[in-house]
Copies of this chain bind each other. A is one copy, B any other.
Amino acid sequence: MNTQTIEPDELWMYRALSQARQGLGTTSPNPPVGAVIVKDNLLLGEGFHERAGEPHAERRAIANAILRGHEARLKGATIYVTLEPCSSYGRTPPCTEAIIQCGISEVVYGSTDPDKRHQGRADEVLKAAGVHVRSGVCQEACDAFLRPWKHAVQHGRPWVVAKVACSLDGRMTRRNGEWLSCVESVKEAHQLRLESDAILVGGNTVRTDDPALTIRTPKTAIPKAKIQPWRIILTRDENSLPPTAKLLSDEEAQRTIVCENVADLKSWLESLYQEYGIVQLMLECGGKLLRQFLEQGMVNEWVQILTPRITGGADEMVPGDYLPNELDFETEYHLSCGRDILIRGIIL
């Protein structure tokens, strides 16, 4: 009989990752991080970072252990954290300090801090205090989970996810004007909005479709810390937008950013990160604007919802001639989503 063993280290780190996942989409410009405290194979406490300015995962896990009555057991315990703990004063005091103070004797983390100024600093501080440190446990999974944030920190601009819904023959609309995607795919698209800090459309989409771009999944599925994502309109002329458009007039109107005549997407994206702390930007624009992002190499991830239908039509996903540089793609998965096929991957 075949047996598959999971090392305790991996088991606890995956538990920390599933904690981290609870913060997905609510922590920007901070990363979503999870932590689990363990002693003698017993879970003492766990927690995740929920919102910038609020306690980090490590402190929440310690607080959780205390809440569970495990304060005395913290001495000599091990903490699993998905990301190298912070070691400097930010909006909250460094986590290394909290770890040392409560007597935790071992820190195991997955991903390293992408900021060269901080990278490895936690190890030094902790080791100097006699805490044992191990890193690189489930590093691949932690890195993949933190990819958008790491990209933002390293490049100073958001991770850009393009979401496209199309027919088998690559068209984005139907003759009868109805939606292509099935309800299950639309649900997935809202889940993607949940993970994003901002959603972008072009002026044309505003004029034609008048979208709200809000998250409309069942309330129970939305983390309580989630605020509606920023809604960004890229347009040649702000005055061409109808003032009655939902994005400009609904109750979330103060969460809409209108930008005119953006030619250099890279520096514009940099400003979005700096000014608004946008770590993940999702494109829900038409083909023309999408092509502009592709041409400038500014798309990082691609989510394609393929509807089993052959439509023809002028509404191409990527209109126009060959791209100056063909884009290579690493498929992460393709799966059935209702009757549609969902393909997700990274643009290389």
Give residues in A with beta carbon < 8 Å to B.
166, 168-171, 174-176, 291, 294, 302, 304, 306, 308-314, 316-323, 326-331, 334, 336, 339, 341, 343, 345, 347
Contact = CB atoms under 8 A, between A and B. Distances in A.
Of A291, A311, A321, A322, which is in contact with the most chain B CB atoms at under 10 Å from its CB? A322
B322 A331 contact: no
**Shortest Cβ-Cβ A-B pairs, 3 listed:** A170-B170, A308-B329, A175-B322
Nearest to A319: B312
A318 B310 contact: yes
A174 B326 CA distance: 8
Given A174-B326, A322-B313, A345 B308 contact: yes
Interface of A is mostly: strand
B310 A326 contact: yes
12 contacts: A168-B304, A168-B317, A169-B318, A291-B312, A308-B330, A309-B326, A310-B318, A311-B322, A311-B323, A312-B323, A314-B321, A331-B341
Contacts of A312: 291, 294, 318-323, 326
* Copies of this chain per assembly: 2
B175 A316 contact: no
A171 B320 CA distance: 11
Contacts of A291: 312
Nearest to A310: B327
Contacts of A309: 326-329
A309 B326 CA distance: 7
B316 A170 contact: yes
Nearest to A341: B334
Contacts of A321: 312-314
Contact of A329 (B310, B330, B336): B310
A312 B325 CA distance: 9
A169 B343 CA distance: 12
A307 to B, nearest CB: 8
Contacts of A304: 168
A18 B8 CA distance: 45
A326 to B, nearest CB: 5
Contacts of A310: 294, 302, 318, 323, 326-327, 329, 347
A254 B316 CA distance: 41
A65 B326 CA distance: 59
Nearest to A176: B326
A339 to B, nearest CB: 7
A340 to B, nearest CB: 9
B322 A168 contact: no
A202 B330 CA distance: 33
